Structure 1
Amino acid sequence: MPDYKEMYLKLFRASEEAVNVLIAAQRECEELYISSPEPELKVITLSEQGVGDEARPKNHPQIKKKGSD
């Protein structure tokens, strides 16, 4: 007859080891994220991109000015 207790313990230990491996990997990734430099952000306006009024919607059916009903 199989030793169910030993089989259960073997699976339990393997499961615990797998969880510990995942936790360690998560901690390493979190540390990499925390220690990475902040990205440099720059706000770009439409005029800086070389895009003028032609990029703005004109006569769009859902865009109405006040008082133009």
Structure 2
Amino acid sequence: MPDYKKMYFQLAAKVADAMDILSKAQQEGEAEFMAGEPSPGIKVIAIKEEDGPSE
């Protein structure tokens, strides 16, 4: 009979490894983007937050 507990923990470890790889790739991409030259045509727009729900 297969050891499902062992299989589950192996899968969970591999999923955690994959998440770490993806997270690191995202952080590196964000850092590279922020270090680059600003692109023409990109505008920063401030969004005003409202105090409460409107009725």
Does TM, scored on the shorter chain, surpass 0.5? yes
Counterpart of 1:27, as a letter, is Q
Larger RCO: Structure 1 or Structure 2 (Cα < 8 Å, ≥ 6 residues apart)? 1
- Ranges in structure 2 where 5+ consecutive residues have no aligned partner: 42-55
- Ranges in structure 1 where 5+ consecutive residues have no aligned partner: 42-69
**Matched residues, number:** 41
Q: Structure 1: how far apart are the matches of 2:24 and 2:14?
A: 15
Whichever structure has more helix as a proportion of its residues is 2
What TM-score, normalized by structure 2, do the two folds share?
0.68
Q: Structure 1: how far apart are the matches of 2:40 and 2:15?
A: 42
SS in 2 for 1:37: coil
- Percentage of matched positions with identical amino acids: 34
The alignment yields a C-alpha RMSD, in angstroms, of: 1.3
Q: Structure 2: how far apart are the matches of 1:2 and 1:39?
A: 55
What TM-score, normalized by structure 1, do the two folds share?
0.55
Q: Structure 2: how far apart are the matches of 1:39 and 1:3?
A: 54
Counterpart of 2:14, as a letter, is A
